[in-house]
Structure 1
Amino acid sequence: MKLSQLLPRLSRHASLLVISFVIAFPFLWMITSSLKSDGEIRRFPPVLWPERPLWHNFSAAWEAAPFGQYLLNSVLVALVIVLIQIINSAMMAYALTHMNFRFKNALMAIILTNYMLPVSATYLPSYIILSKLGLIDTYTGLIISNAVSIFSIFLIRQAFMQLPKELAEAAKIDGAGHVRILFSILFPLARSSFIILALLTFITNYNNYFWPMLITKSPELSLVSAGLRSFFVEGGGYGMKWSLIMAGSTFTILPLLILFVIAQKWIIKGVSNAFSVNKG
């Protein structure tokens, strides 16, 4: 390889390494800080690795707050929301791509318009509706309020638009109904997009903080983000026990880090497919 070709390539790789380090450094600092004493965390100049790792900080943090319950709550709620969103998004995307009805384009325009609407603008009306239904401070209210996602509909719609329409038309000629076409033909062909939908939805709802904290007040219903904040305010004393706070943060973020390492190629592929332009 010529030097004129090698230098730009090395420069590009070096830039990517620097950017990656900047992005990963907060996670690295959080993990190493969970092994330090409070004095080492406050030391100036700071040190990355402690002189003597305090592994018991993890057990102390685990016993100081019910992180096991928080993790279980978040995982179960996120999984249920994932299942509901997959079904809802698949049916809506199928209707928008393989069915003809009046105001179809208007419905798609409304969906895209709602995608541009700030999420915070929906909090007040959603809270009022859940309050009238008696679903405040319940998992049912939390799950129902997250049952539909505009991004999920858009993602699956893009996936269906990239599939040959002749497959659905041939199935209709053979007498297949809409449900069979959707789940027996289109669903398997768009499997990668549904995997991405499941991963992104799980991560989003696992990390969700403000809305669950707003509608769930009981400590036993707290999700991991709200539970970590409660530990920070009450158990952590606003920074009096930073080592335990960092250990608790490591508990909460570790499942997502493992999930991202396993599924990063699917996440990147799904996001790129979501915004690809349909050439058909």
Structure 2
Amino acid sequence: MVAAGVIYVVTIVLYSLSVLGYFIDFMQNNRKVNRIAFWLLSIVWVLQTVFFFIRALEYDRPPIITPFEGLFFYAWLLVTVSLVINRFARIDFLVFFMNIVGFAMMAFSLFRPSGDVPAGLHDLLISELLVVHITLVLLAYAAFTVALAFALMYILQHQLLKRKQWGKKLLRMENLPKMEKWSFRMTLIGVPCMLLGLILGFVWASIQLQEMPWLDAKVIGSLAVLVVYSLYMYLWAVRQRRGYNMVVLNIAGFLVVLINYFLSGELTDFHLWYF
């Protein structure tokens, strides 16, 4: 539909301006630009939501199945969480870091097929179980992204303190222990969502395909994500590890997420049209 295409383009443009505004605020501590960036981000959320409704009506299904839709839904989740955090916590730099990733997801969606799935696969793909599976996995990715944003803020503040570069940036960030704790909490949300999503994916495959895709690249990548983040949680909760190295491990976990999200998708036939 022409309307959906126009909304998509306008959303990309406004999203880029919002991220640019948050970047200017990050560099210059400009509160006026920060407010403009927030309202632009709010408009982006409205446009994204309208786009989802139009696409759902156009294809008569939840619009999260194809790679294009998955990326768009991922970005929508990040914008939603950003607005909630900005409303209740006012952690501006967290919103900035999160939406760098969110805008990247929107940009990547430009290079993904935007049409519906092939007709032969439509009935096979559309089921409540699959929709819940995809939704849980994308929720996990969103939680891991928030954890990444806190981890990056931790690294930034750690470096500023190490170099004794006092300034307004430090005043607009939480203290190191709190950011590290929030990074862990978001990981604590992401891991169960990822695990449940993976289990439901296996259940769906056993019902619909009568086989278990153990050697699928996306499945192996998802298991690797769970292993890295589970190790992080074990070291935090059981071994009581804290500090810089733990934050770096959390960032490493997100790198595995990115590899699984993009690279493994090129090596799989099973997940060719969905996540």
TM-score range, shorter chain: under 0.3
Q: Give the greater-gyration-radius structure (CA).
A: 1
Task: Give the TM-score normalised by structure 2.
Answer: 0.28
